[in-house]
Chains A and B, each alone.
Chain A
Amino acid sequence: MPSIEESLKRLHDAVVAFDEDGTVLAAQDYLDEGHEALEGIMRGLAAGMNTVGQLFKSQEYYVPEVLLCAEAMQAGLRVLTPHLRAGQSESRGKIVLGTIQGDVHDIGKNLVKLMLEIAGFTVYDLGVNVAHQTFVDEAARTGADVVGISAMMTTTMMGMKKVIQILREARPEVRILIGGAPVTAEIVKMFKADGYAQSAADVVDAVERVLARETA
């Protein structure tokens, strides 16, 4: 029988190779070998997706590859998740996510959602072209810890500033992250957001940073 490290590596590598069938087989074998589902998810599938994030950042992978890796990972999750023990799927926090009004770009936002879900956060995805007030309403309804706003165009990103203003008034306790191609550190400062992630690969770090600041 292969060692657990070998089995975890097999899960990791199948995700990185965007091999959906291979990931499912690796996940089934992993369970048959008697290993813990949670460890397989975190140190196998999620670790694989983190490697994918790094490959994306270094431009060895592009969005199409990442999408296929995500599909492989999700196929693996469908095998492993039913075998989690009670309490193991507890959420690390609630995040409301959406693309700003007038902007229909959702690839970056969807990658961010994926990385956050793998890391154990509960994500409420509002989709694209989201009205400003909807961010505030959804943050209230879900009791969100973090609101993430995406804009892909210089022409739409001013809307993020408006959302931040009304969100600060209505829910001062909520941390706000912004993201998207036109967002820079200067924009974060100018819009008075709490932070941003340069790419989907960095978003979990960014969320952890703003949440730590909140409780510190």
Chain B
Amino acid sequence: MTPKERFLKRLSGQEADMTPVGCTTAYGVVELMRKCGYERPLADTDPVAMAQLALAGHAVAGFDWIKAMGWDITSVSQALGCSLGEPAIDLQYCIASHPFEQGVDDLECPGDLLSRGRFPAYKEQFRILREVAGNSAVIFGMSEGPFTCAANLVGTTKLLRATMKEPKLVKKTLEVTAEALIKVVNFAFSNGADYFCMADPTSGCDLLNPKAWATFVAPAVKRIVENVSGPVVLHICGNTDKIIPMMCETGIAGISIEEKVDLKQALEAAHSRGVRVFGNVSAKSTLFIGTPEDCYKEAWAALEAGVDFLAPGCGLAPNSPLENILQLRRARDEFFRTA
């Protein structure tokens, strides 16, 4: 079974010979950049550098699948008008302005969205990835989700406050971000992505009331999923216990969760709804600052608990040691050798 067959079978709920291992979030790791010779920030905008770093995840870090579309979750917000801060080798792009802080009357999804910002570079990156690895490994696209994008456009505090005081503003903004995401996700599929991961951290329970998630975020995610031509995985950081059942009822194919989640409960909630689970080795206390033994143990525990895809629980910190990351693959291979 090739890594691609294994991944696609598992994602559609069929038997696979073993659990795929990889990363469904960003893996812009400095040591990986040094190994392959293609560093950020060049690898944020240059399609060749971006593709080579993405492939290094597969070839060097042992990931079964490959990430397209850069190393951060700002691309849709940028194309809708946010300016970005200066990146560095160990610093991702961040949102530097909220262009619709004063009002969303003029906010609309532009017709030329996909020729803005980094999308032309992503298109070329997809072409390279398809050519090199498209037959053997799954390629996925990724961006921010609808609520995070909305928060970038109007400001997080304003958007959160509006969930209680100005629901119309929230709905209007989410209509536009969902429309933009439908275009972006379909762009990824038409350029060769096998699945798409939306990261919507701002909608997590650290910030937003689960009731507001049901009112605002769930319909936006549903609309996106219903209007795109391939499977979508939803990543939300933090403890998402209270929203996982709702996440799983939006029509998504998978959820990506971190270590703060009750894994057993999440697996039950997801599997009973036909949804697969990616996770949940801690990107911070384990893969970043833990020992290789810690990483191996936590990966093993996730496999034993029955995650469908062994992956970090969140984006990898740029200075995570490669030796730690390699333990994911090692644990997976040995787990299935002894099984």
Q: CB within 8 Å of B: which residues of A?
A: 59, 61-65, 67-68, 101-107, 110, 129, 153-159, 181-182, 184, 186-187, 190
Contacts and interface: CB of A to CB of B under 8 A. Distances in A.
B209 A62 contact: yes
B208 interface: yes
Contacts of A187: 284-285, 289
B195 interface: no
Contacts of B283: 154
Contact of A155 (B92, B205, B242): B92
A114 to B, nearest CB: 12
B242 A181 contact: no
A65 B95 contact: no
Given A62-B205, A62-B209, A68-B164, A103 B94 contact: yes
A146 B228 CA distance: 50
Contact of A156 (B91, B160, B285, B316): B91
A102 B163 contact: no
Nearest to B288: A154
Interface string B177-213: 0000000000000000000000000000111111010
Contacts of A159: 91
Given A65-B209, A153-B315, A107 B90 contact: no
Contact of B94 (A62, A102, A110, A186): A102
Contacts of A190: 289
B314 interface: yes
B273 interface: no
B90 A129 contact: no
Contacts of B35: none
A157 B316 CA distance: 12
A104 B206 contact: no
Interface string B131-175: 000000000000000000000000011001101110000000000
Contacts of A186: 285, 289
10 contacts: A59-B242, A61-B209, A63-B207, A65-B164, A65-B209, A105-B156, A106-B157, A154-B288, A155-B92, A187-B285
A184 B317 contact: no
A153 B95 CA distance: 13
Interface string B288-301: 11000000000000
A16 B157 CA distance: 19
A194 B156 CA distance: 29
B85 interface: yes
B92 A102 contact: yes
Nearest to B287: A154
A48 B243 CA distance: 28
Task: Assign chain B's interface to a size class.
Answer: 35 or more
B96 interface: yes
A63 B238 contact: no
Contacts of A184: 284-285
Nearest to A154: B317
Contacts of A62: 205, 207-210, 212
Given A155-B317, A186-B289, A63 B284 contact: no
Given A64-B161, A102-B91, A186-B289, 14 more contacts: A59-B242, A63-B207, A65-B209, A101-B91, A102-B88, A107-B156, A129-B85, A154-B316, A155-B26, A155-B28, A158-B317, A181-B206, A181-B237, A186-B285
Given A129-B94, A155-B317, A158-B317, A182 B160 contact: no
B238 A181 contact: yes
B117 interface: no
A154 B91 CA distance: 10
A154 B289 CA distance: 11
Contacts of B207: 62-63, 107
Q: 5 nearest interchain CB pairs?
A: A62-B209, A154-B317, A102-B91, A64-B160, A182-B284
A131 to B, nearest CB: 11
B250 interface: no
B81 interface: no
B85 A102 contact: yes
A106 B289 CA distance: 25
Residue among A102, A154, A181 with max Cβ neighbours from chain B (10 Å): A154
Interface string B309-329: 000001111110000000000
B317 A157 contact: yes
A66 to B, nearest CB: 9
Contact of B95 (A63, A104, A107): A104
Contacts of B26: 155
A153 B315 CA distance: 9
B284 A64 contact: no
Contacts of A104: 85, 94-96
Nearest to B95: A104
A25 B319 CA distance: 53
B241 to A, nearest CB: 10
Contacts of A107: 156-157, 160, 207
Interface string B252-288: 0000000000000000000000000000000111001
Nearest to A67: B161
